[in-house]
Each structure stands twice: as structure tokens, then as C-alpha cells.
Amino acid sequence: MFEEHAPDSSEQIDRELVQRAFVFACDRHADQRRASGEDFIVHPIGVAKICAGMRLDTATLCAALLHDTVEDTSASDHEVRAEFGDEVADLVDGVTKLTGITFQSRDDRQAENYRKMMVAMASDIRVILIKLADRLHNMRTIGAMPKQKQQDKARETLEIFAPLAHRLGIHAIKWELEDLAFATLHPRKFAEIKGLVNQQREEREGYVSRAGEYLEKELEAVGIEGEISGRAKHFYSIYSKMTKKGREFNEIYDLTAMRVRVASVADCYGAIGVIH
């Protein structure tokens, strides 16, 4: 789990404690199945892997593995606390409490209030991170749910969880949540945009490569070392722009984005000057 998803942080993880959490979760979820028919333990393992990818600590990985044990099995808070300590138990308790609140309104102000309530209820930011990982894994495996539940979860993901990930600066999770929700709510439009984007893949990759090489030379000329990367805009972002501006796909010109990472704030402003 650690080498594949967080190679830089794996040596700092208490593997023995995480292994104990894994065994505990396997034992408590042993007779449970997901809607897909898979063993339930697949879900907490998936959540823990996402948390490992965020380079979170031992307590968070343990809590990710255990996050459904108190809510969905015979395990008690006291038992988790005695076995894994207060830190892990508090995280599990925080996730359990967040799971207990539901969001039904589609009003923007209510969505904002719900996000604020989630943050206020979670005294530890790691609770929110586990909850985001929980939602991401559920969205990745949403196909086995009844259709109406898929729609409800996808809307909730767009209105609550993706904006929350954005506020925390976890952009990769935000983008994936949005695209998964978009694919669930508008499957035909998602497939159409994905196909159009893929048609231009070679041209786009060539442009990004040339632009990156040019920018690297310009930065070197003023003494700035930077790590330059490029990516395609994610599908929901393109769809949102088309919808808000009333444009067709061929009228959207900023289908790629470039990122420049530098060592200091001064270099950041210097890079902005070069780009402009």
C-alpha cells in the first residue's frame, strides 16, 4: 500500500499498527458485502490507499481502514480506543459523526452552510480528508448503486465534496470528484466531451511539450529553476465553461493548463513576470 501510493512517506508509517487496523477491519467486516457483491473490506482499503496517496500519517491510515467499523459493525468506540489509542479513535468518531448528517437541499446557500457545518464538526482536518477519500472511493465504484441513489450522490458530490476539496487545495481529488459526478449525471455529454478531447490529444501534447521547453529556457535566462508540467483541462471544467458561456466545444480554446513550481515566493513572482 505505502510504496505504491506514497513512496516518499512509507518509511515514516508505523506498519505494525496499520497492519493491526487492517486485520481488525477485515475481522469486523468479514460477513459484509458491498452492493457490487465485493467483500466490504475493499472499500476501507480503497479509502486508506487514497489517504496514503495524500501522504497522511499513521493515525489517519488506521482511521481510514476503521472508519466504518463503529457505524456498520459490532465494534464500539471503546474497543477501537483501547486497541488503537485516542488519536485513531477520535478520527473514527469524527468520520462517523459526519456520516450521520445528510444534505438534501439544492440551494447554494444551504450547500455552503452544510460545508461549514462539516468543517465545524470536524475538530481535526484529517477527519475531512478521510471523508473526502471515502466519497472519492464511493464515486469510483458508484455503478452498483440504484440509479436514483447514483444521481443523489453525484449531485451531493458536486455541491458539497468537490468544493470542499477545492477549498483545501486538494485539486486532483476535486477534479476527479467532479468528473465522476459529471459522468454519472450526464453520461452522454461526458462521453461526447471525452471523445472530443481525446481526438486532439496528440496535437495538445505537442503544444504542451513545445510551450514547456520554451518556458524553461525563458526562466533559465533570468536565473529561475522551475518544474514545469502540463495537463488537459478536466471534462467537467470544459462542460461548465460551455454551459455558462453558451459555447460549443470548438469555441473553447483553453483546453490545456500548465503548472510551474519554483523554490520561493520571489521566484514565483519572477516566473509570473516571464510568462506575462
* 14, 39, 57, 72: the active-site residue: 72
Is residue 258 within 8 A of residue 230, CB to CB? The reply is yes
Question: DSSP letters of 200-231?
Answer: THHHHHHHHHHHHHHHHHHHHHTT--EEEEEE
Contacts of 259 (CB under 8 A, 6+ apart): 228, 229, 230, 231
- In the chain the first and final C-alpha atoms are separated, in Å, by 42
Residue 72 a catalytic site member: yes
Contacts of 145 (CB under 8 A, 6+ apart): 35, 153
CA pair distance 113, 117, nearest whole angstrom: 6
Beta strands in 124-209 (DSSP E): none
* 14, 39, 57, 71: the active-site residue: 71
SS3 261: strand
CA pair distance 75, 66, nearest whole angstrom: 10
Amino acid (one-letter) located at 217: K
Residue 71 a catalytic site member: yes
Residues annotated as catalytic (active site), given as ranges: 71-72
